[in-house]
Amino acid sequence: MNRFTRLIFFLLILPSLIFAQENESPKNIILLIGDGMGLNYVSADVLKHNNSPFKRFSTVGLAITKSIDDLITDSAAAATAIATGYPTKNRYIAMDTSYNKLYTIFEHAEKLGLLTGVVVTGEIVGATPAAFVTHHYNRSEKREIAEQFLNIDIDVVIGGGAKYFLPSDSSHSDKDKINLVDELKSKGYNIYYDFNGLFKSVSSDKVFALLDDEGLPETVKRDYSLGDLTSLALKHLAANEKGFLLMVEGAQIDWAGHDENVNYLLSEMDDFSTALKVAIDFAEKEGNTLVLVTADHETGGMTITDGSFDGENLKIEFLNSHHTAGFVGVFAYGPGEKLFGGIYENYLIGRKIFHLMDESYQFSSNH
């Protein structure tokens, strides 16, 4: 380059290249949520494992997690913020404080012709996945939340919580007698109750896998990882030429935090990392895929107070067994990643995802 062409490059071409990279829209989005995974949870993973997949993310942001009226959020309000782009009250599932449904990134993805999927280690009617696909003012109404899975054309559902879809043995009301699995079958879903059956599913199937009655067994008590489940979901979603939106939740990271159980916490973080690795490997291989990792809140005021220099034998302590208001990380890799740097409220994660899927999407100021 002579001096003149170099000048043209720096003045005209380089800014447009940077602009294009920052505003590039991904074809596929994989959103991974570590429930309760505050920054120190990530610190522990990175200190313990030199090759932690968290190190592969090139853009990092920090999200403020408070709900609309409470400094300390629960999973329902935080997942609603991420799923809809609006803050709400604790316990509300994709619903505003006037009981209006809040439109979710999953509903919009379906409208745009993307395939959609959720993979969780808790119940699929749990607050986090529920906020992406259903609407309710009370996260505990799991039977009603289960019914709403029939209202959306989600393509892959993998997790626990079978008992909310099957007739209950001790029926207290007519509702308990409803067999939602029959209705799911008539909607074209293949139903799976164990990992081996799911493993044999073919890529064109619509999948509904209810792998346990409640949450899945903790990771050390099952012979498949969240990464294995994520791979299976990708097998079903990746063929769509318009792309897909997949949400993966490491639900039991939070449960370990509430229990103040260090071994449980570290093994669930390892399990979550298997999914991170699968997602980022997929994005590297296929391109056109944004991988986002975040959390709904921190649990337990967890901190690392001692340990050996190589990260072995970490001494981990908890302040209490509740959620806290600490920042959570937002780790981004792929087209559009630059949007996720900085410090911002968690509902902006949802807004950024809406805009990456659909540049013309407008938010109303009514909520």
The residues of the shown chain that bind Zn ion, judged by CB under 5 A, are: 254
Give me the least distance between CB of 341 and Zn ion, in Å please: 27
Give me the least distance between CB of 297 and Zn ion, in Å please: 7
CA distance 88 to 98: 10
75 is catalytic: yes
Q: Which is nearer to Zn ion, 254 or 270 (CB)?
A: 254
Q: Which is nearer to Zn ion, 212 or 254 (CB)?
A: 254
Give me the least distance between CB of 75 and Zn ion, in Å please: 6
Give me the least distance between CB of 257 and Zn ion, in Å please: 7
Give me the least distance between CB of 37 and Zn ion, in Å please: 11
Q: Which is nearer to Zn ion, 139 or 355 (CB)?
A: 139
**CA–CA distances in Å: residue 123 to residues 25, 146, 174, 289:** 31, 10, 22, 27
Q: Which is nearer to Zn ion, 31 or 253 (CB)?
A: 253
Q: Which own/partner pairs from 313-322 qualify as long-range (CB within 8 Å, at least 24 positions apart)?
A: 314/44, 314/47, 314/48, 314/262, 314/266, 316/44, 316/262, 316/265, 316/266, 318/257, 318/260, 321/257, 321/258, 321/259, 321/260, 322/72, 322/258
Catalytic annotation, pick one of 43, 52, 67, 75 = 75
Report yes or no: 303 and 262 within 8 Å, Cβ to Cβ. no
Exposed / middle / buried, residue 179 (Cβ in 10 Å: 0-12, 13-18, 19+): exposed
Residues contacting residue 58 through CB under 8 Å, at least 6 positions apart? 332, 333, 337
Q: Which is nearer to Zn ion, 254 or 260 (CB)?
A: 254
Cite the active site residues.
75
